[in-house]
Amino acid sequence: MPDTPAAPAVLDAARLRALTREFLAAHPPAGTDRLDFLRARFDAGLAWVHYPEGLGGLGAPRSLQAVVDAELEAAGAPDNDPRRIGIGLGMAAPTILQYGTPEQRRRFLRPLWTGEEVWCQLFSEPGAGSDLAALGTRAVPGDGGDWVVDGQKVWTSSAHLARWAILIARTDPAVPKHRGITYFVCDMTDPGVEVRPLRQITGEAEFNEVFLTGVRIPDSRRLGAVGEGWRVAQTTLNNERVAIGGMRLPREGGMIGPVARTWRERPELRTHDLHQRLLKLWVDAEVSRLTAERLRQQLVAGQPGPEGAGMKLAFARLNQEISGLEVELLGEEGLLYDDWTMRRPELVDFTGREAGYRYLRSKGNSIEGGTSEVLLNIVAERVLGLPAEPRTDKDVAWKDLAR
C-alpha cells in the first residue's frame, strides 16, 4: 500500500516558534541585509501570520503574531519601521486584503509591508472632512478603460513621501452621497498629482493638500465595485481608528512617560493639586493601555468595528489633558519651543521633543483620523444604540445638495 501522506503540523504557538527559529537560522539578522531579511520574512509567512499563505502570512490565528515578534526581537532582527509606514500597514493593507483582486494583493502587499513603498490616504477634502460622504472629487470614465480624476484632497499625511494612495472619488453624482463613490489606488508619481505642504502650528508640515488634475487611473487599480466605495472605505476607517487609538504601548509609554519622569526628577515643581491630577491621568493612561490591549484581542475574531472609534476618542482627549498638565507643571519652561522653521518630518516625535511641542501637536489628535465630534456620534449610534440624528440629505442626490 502507498504511504499515507503525513497530516500537516498544527500551527500552534510551539510550531510557530519553531518555524521562526528555523527562519532565523537560515537568515541570521547580523549577517543579512535588512531589506533582504524583511522580504524573506514576508515570503516565509512571518510578516502578519493571520494573512493567507503567499501574502505574508500562514493563515494562523492573529494572536500568534506576538510569538513571532518576541522571537525576532530577542534575535535582534530588524523591523519594518512601522511608524513610518503606518498608513500602509494599518489602513491600506487590510482594505486591499479584503477587497483587492489576487493580482492587486500580490502587487501591493509585499512592498507595502517591507516599507519599500509608502502609502498615504486621499479621503478628506476642504468641503468634506467630518462629512466625508459629501466629497466632490470626480472620477469619470476615460478612453481605454481608465478613470480621469479631478479634485482636491487635504490633511494628507506622508503624501510627500508616498508612492501610492488610497483614494475615494465620486463616480455618480445623480445618487445620494453615500452611494456613487468608488475606491481607487492612485499612483502619486503620475502626471497631474501635485502635493503642497500644509504648515502646522508646530512649524512642521507632516500634512499636505493634494491637487488631482486629469489624473488617469486604470480600472485595474479600482478596489471593490463601482459605486461601492463608501462600503470599502468603512474597512479603511475602522482600521484607521484602531491603528491610532489601539497602539501597543508599555506602561508609562506615550505621552504620560515624559510627565512621570519630570515629576520624579524635579521635586521642586510638585504641588498637591498637580499631584492629584497626575495620579488621575496616570490611571487613565493605564486604563487606556489595557483597553487597547483588549481591543487588539477582540480583533482576533474578525474585522474591527465601531469600538475603535471609542478608543481613538479616548486617545485624543487623554493626550491633550496630559500635555496640558505637563506645560503647567513646567511653568515658563514648558512654553519653550526650539525651532519654528518649516520641516518635513517622516515621523511625528512625541517623546523626543520638548513639552511645548507635545502640547501643540496634541491639538491635532482630536481632528486626525476622524474628529472627536464625529466619533461621539459613532459611539452613540453604533456602540450604545442611541437614536440616530436626523439626516435630511440621506436620500437626496449628491448633485442636488447645497454646497
Task: Please list the active-site residues.
Answer: 240
The CA distances from residue 183 to 44, 175, 234, 239, in Å, are 30, 16, 11, 16
CA atoms within 13 A on the CB side of 139: 26
**Would you say 197 and 208 are in contact if contact means Cβ atoms under 8 Å apart?**
yes
* Closest listed residue to residue 308, CA positions, set 242, 227, 399: 242
> Which residue is associated with the grid cell 484607521?
240
**109, 137, 225, 368 alpha-carbon torsion, rounded to 10°:** 50
Residues for the chain: how many in total?
A: 403
Q: Is 315 helix (H, G, I), strand (E, B) or coil?
A: helix
The CA distances from residue 312 to 89, 354, 379, in Å, are 17, 24, 11
Q: Is 106 helix (H, G, I), strand (E, B) or coil?
A: helix
If residue 357 lies in a helix (H) or strand (E), which one and from where to where? Answer: helix 355-361
Q: Which residues pair with 53 in a beta bridge?
A: 57
CA atoms within 13 A on the CB side of 226: 14
**Would you say 243 and 88 are in contact if contact means Cβ atoms under 8 Å apart?**
no
**Would you say 327 and 335 are in contact if contact means Cβ atoms under 8 Å apart?**
yes
* Closest listed residue to residue 177, CA positions, set 212, 237, 227, 235: 227
Q: CA-based angle 270:272:273, to the nearest 5? A: 100
- Please, which residues have CB within 8 angstroms of residue 261's CB and are 6 or more apart in sequence? none
**382, 384, 387, 390 alpha-carbon torsion, rounded to 10°:** -50
Q: Which residues pair with 308 in a beta bridge?
A: none
**Would you say 139 and 147 are in contact if contact means Cβ atoms under 8 Å apart?**
yes
The DSSP letter of residue 206 is: -
